Structure 1
Protein backbone atom coordinates (compact mmCIF):
# COMPACT_ATOMS: atom_id res chain seq x y z
CA UNK A 1 0.00 0.00 0.00
CA UNK A 2 1.28 3.43 -0.97
CA UNK A 3 1.90 6.22 1.53
CA UNK A 4 0.63 9.74 0.92
CA UNK A 5 2.08 12.81 2.56
CA UNK A 6 0.40 16.01 3.60
CA UNK A 7 3.08 18.68 3.82
CA UNK A 8 3.51 22.33 4.73
CA UNK A 9 6.31 24.35 3.22
CA UNK A 10 7.58 27.67 4.52
CA UNK A 11 8.34 29.96 1.62
CA UNK A 12 11.06 32.60 1.32
CA UNK A 13 8.47 35.32 2.05
CA UNK A 14 7.47 33.49 5.30
CA UNK A 15 4.13 32.37 3.87
CA UNK A 16 3.00 28.74 4.01
CA UNK A 17 2.07 26.36 1.23
CA UNK A 18 0.15 23.13 1.90
CA UNK A 19 0.08 20.18 -0.47
CA UNK A 20 -0.02 16.39 -0.78
CA UNK A 21 2.21 13.91 -2.60
CA UNK A 22 3.23 10.27 -2.66
CA UNK A 23 6.96 11.15 -2.80
CA UNK A 24 7.80 13.88 -0.29
CA UNK A 25 11.53 14.24 -0.95
CA UNK A 26 11.02 14.44 -4.72
CA UNK A 27 8.17 16.93 -4.39
CA UNK A 28 10.21 19.34 -2.25
CA UNK A 29 13.06 19.15 -4.77
CA UNK A 30 10.58 19.86 -7.57
CA UNK A 31 9.19 22.88 -5.72
CA UNK A 32 12.69 24.27 -5.15
CA UNK A 33 13.60 23.65 -8.81
CA UNK A 34 10.62 25.81 -9.83
CA UNK A 35 8.95 22.96 -11.72
CA UNK A 36 5.52 23.93 -10.38
CA UNK A 37 4.58 27.30 -11.81
CA UNK A 38 2.35 28.95 -9.29
CA UNK A 39 2.43 29.92 -5.64
CA UNK A 40 5.81 28.52 -4.61
CA UNK A 41 7.71 29.28 -7.84
CA UNK A 42 7.84 32.99 -6.98
CA UNK A 43 8.69 32.36 -3.32
CA UNK A 44 11.77 30.15 -3.51
CA UNK A 45 13.46 28.56 -1.74
CA UNK A 46 10.92 26.61 0.27
CA UNK A 47 11.58 24.55 3.39
CA UNK A 48 9.59 21.60 4.73
CA UNK A 49 8.20 22.51 8.16
CA UNK A 50 5.54 19.83 8.65
CA UNK A 51 4.48 16.49 7.20
CA UNK A 52 2.06 13.74 8.07
CA UNK A 53 1.72 10.31 6.48
CA UNK A 54 -1.60 8.84 5.34
CA UNK A 55 -2.50 5.43 3.93
CA UNK A 56 -5.74 6.75 2.39
CA UNK A 57 -5.42 9.38 -0.37
CA UNK A 58 -8.92 10.68 0.34
CA UNK A 59 -8.07 11.33 3.98
CA UNK A 60 -4.92 13.18 2.90
CA UNK A 61 -6.94 15.34 0.49
CA UNK A 62 -9.53 16.15 3.19
CA UNK A 63 -6.77 17.17 5.62
CA UNK A 64 -5.06 19.31 2.97
CA UNK A 65 -8.30 21.17 2.20
CA UNK A 66 -8.96 21.71 5.90
CA UNK A 67 -5.48 23.06 6.66
CA UNK A 68 -5.50 25.35 3.59
CA UNK A 69 -8.47 27.15 5.16
CA UNK A 70 -6.77 27.59 8.55
CA UNK A 71 -5.37 30.83 9.87
CA UNK A 72 -1.62 31.33 10.02
CA UNK A 73 -1.80 30.95 13.82
CA UNK A 74 -3.46 27.53 13.52
CA UNK A 75 -0.92 26.36 10.95
CA UNK A 76 1.94 27.49 13.20
CA UNK A 77 0.43 25.70 16.21
CA UNK A 78 0.25 22.50 14.13
CA UNK A 79 3.83 22.95 12.89
CA UNK A 80 5.05 23.43 16.48
CA UNK A 81 3.01 20.47 17.71
CA UNK A 82 1.15 22.73 20.15
CA UNK A 83 -2.13 20.84 20.15
CA UNK A 84 -3.47 22.71 23.19
CA UNK A 85 -3.14 26.03 21.34
CA UNK A 86 -4.51 24.47 18.17
CA UNK A 87 -7.60 23.35 20.07
CA UNK A 88 -8.05 26.82 21.60
CA UNK A 89 -7.70 28.50 18.21
CA UNK A 90 -10.23 26.07 16.75
CA UNK A 91 -12.81 27.11 19.35
CA UNK A 92 -12.52 30.83 18.61
CA UNK A 93 -15.24 32.19 16.38
CA UNK A 94 -15.26 35.58 14.73
CA UNK A 95 -18.05 37.69 16.15
CA UNK A 96 -19.60 40.28 13.85
Structure 2
Protein backbone atom coordinates (compact mmCIF):
# COMPACT_ATOMS: atom_id res chain seq x y z
CA UNK A 1 0.00 0.00 0.00
CA UNK A 2 1.31 3.42 -0.92
CA UNK A 3 0.08 6.96 -1.43
CA UNK A 4 1.22 10.12 -3.15
CA UNK A 5 1.03 13.06 -0.76
CA UNK A 6 1.58 16.78 -1.27
CA UNK A 7 3.72 18.15 1.57
CA UNK A 8 5.00 21.71 1.48
CA UNK A 9 4.64 22.14 -2.28
CA UNK A 10 6.36 18.84 -3.13
CA UNK A 11 4.84 15.47 -3.95
CA UNK A 12 6.14 12.35 -2.19
CA UNK A 13 5.41 8.66 -2.72
CA UNK A 14 5.04 7.24 0.78
CA UNK A 15 4.34 3.84 2.28
CA UNK A 16 3.86 2.75 5.87
CA UNK A 17 6.95 2.59 8.15
CA UNK A 18 8.93 4.74 5.73
CA UNK A 19 11.11 7.63 6.88
CA UNK A 20 11.69 10.63 4.68
CA UNK A 21 13.01 14.17 4.79
CA UNK A 22 10.67 17.07 3.97
CA UNK A 23 10.94 20.85 4.19
CA UNK A 24 10.80 22.15 7.76
CA UNK A 25 7.39 21.58 9.30
CA UNK A 26 6.11 23.83 12.07
CA UNK A 27 6.74 22.68 15.62
CA UNK A 28 4.05 20.22 16.68
CA UNK A 29 3.47 17.67 19.42
CA UNK A 30 5.14 14.95 17.34
CA UNK A 31 2.13 13.83 15.28
CA UNK A 32 1.24 15.25 11.87
CA UNK A 33 -1.71 14.46 9.59
CA UNK A 34 -1.57 15.18 5.86
CA UNK A 35 -4.93 15.67 4.11
CA UNK A 36 -3.60 16.45 0.60
CA UNK A 37 -3.53 12.85 -0.67
CA UNK A 38 -3.42 12.78 -4.47
CA UNK A 39 -3.40 9.00 -5.06
CA UNK A 40 -3.88 5.86 -2.97
CA UNK A 41 -3.10 2.28 -3.97
CA UNK A 42 -4.28 -0.31 -1.46
CA UNK A 43 -3.03 -3.86 -0.92
CA UNK A 44 -5.58 -5.35 -3.35
CA UNK A 45 -4.21 -3.36 -6.27
CA UNK A 46 -7.07 -0.84 -6.40
CA UNK A 47 -5.98 2.67 -7.28
CA UNK A 48 -7.93 5.76 -6.25
CA UNK A 49 -6.98 8.96 -8.03
CA UNK A 50 -8.16 12.26 -6.59
CA UNK A 51 -9.52 15.25 -8.46
CA UNK A 52 -7.45 16.96 -7.09
CA UNK A 53 -7.38 15.03 -3.79
CA UNK A 54 -8.84 11.71 -2.65
CA UNK A 55 -11.84 12.31 -0.38
CA UNK A 56 -11.50 10.90 3.12
CA UNK A 57 -7.89 9.78 2.64
CA UNK A 58 -5.21 10.90 5.04
CA UNK A 59 -1.66 10.03 5.98
CA UNK A 60 -0.54 10.09 9.61
CA UNK A 61 3.11 10.61 10.45
CA UNK A 62 5.29 11.29 13.44
CA UNK A 63 8.11 13.81 13.59
CA UNK A 64 11.44 12.14 14.27
CA UNK A 65 13.83 15.09 14.18
CA UNK A 66 14.40 18.68 13.00
CA UNK A 67 17.79 19.14 11.35
CA UNK A 68 19.63 20.77 8.45
CA UNK A 69 20.43 19.30 5.05
CA UNK A 70 23.85 19.17 3.42
CA UNK A 71 25.59 22.44 2.69
CA UNK A 72 25.15 24.02 -0.73
CA UNK A 73 28.00 26.30 -1.84
CA UNK A 74 27.08 29.47 -3.75
CA UNK A 75 30.06 31.02 -5.56
CA UNK A 76 29.77 34.25 -7.54
CA UNK A 77 32.51 35.67 -9.74
CA UNK A 78 32.93 38.38 -12.34
CA UNK A 79 35.86 37.88 -14.61
CA UNK A 80 38.67 40.44 -14.76
CA UNK A 81 37.08 42.52 -11.97
CA UNK A 82 38.48 40.84 -8.87
CA UNK A 83 34.96 40.14 -7.61
CA UNK A 84 34.54 36.81 -5.81
CA UNK A 85 31.94 35.93 -3.17
CA UNK A 86 31.53 32.52 -1.55
CA UNK A 87 28.44 31.74 0.53
CA UNK A 88 27.06 28.54 2.01
CA UNK A 89 23.51 27.54 2.83
CA UNK A 90 21.97 24.68 4.80
CA UNK A 91 18.24 24.19 4.28
CA UNK A 92 16.22 23.36 7.43
CA UNK A 93 14.43 20.00 7.05
CA UNK A 94 12.29 17.66 9.13
CA UNK A 95 12.62 13.89 9.28
CA UNK A 96 9.23 12.16 9.53
CA UNK A 97 8.11 8.55 9.79
CA UNK A 98 4.89 7.47 8.08
CA UNK A 99 2.70 5.64 10.60
CA UNK A 100 -0.58 4.96 8.82
CA UNK A 101 -2.32 5.46 5.47
CA UNK A 102 -6.11 5.46 5.59
- What TM-score, normalized to structure 2? 0.28
The structure with the largest helix share of the pair is 1
- What TM-score, normalized to structure 1? 0.29
Higher-Rg structure is 2
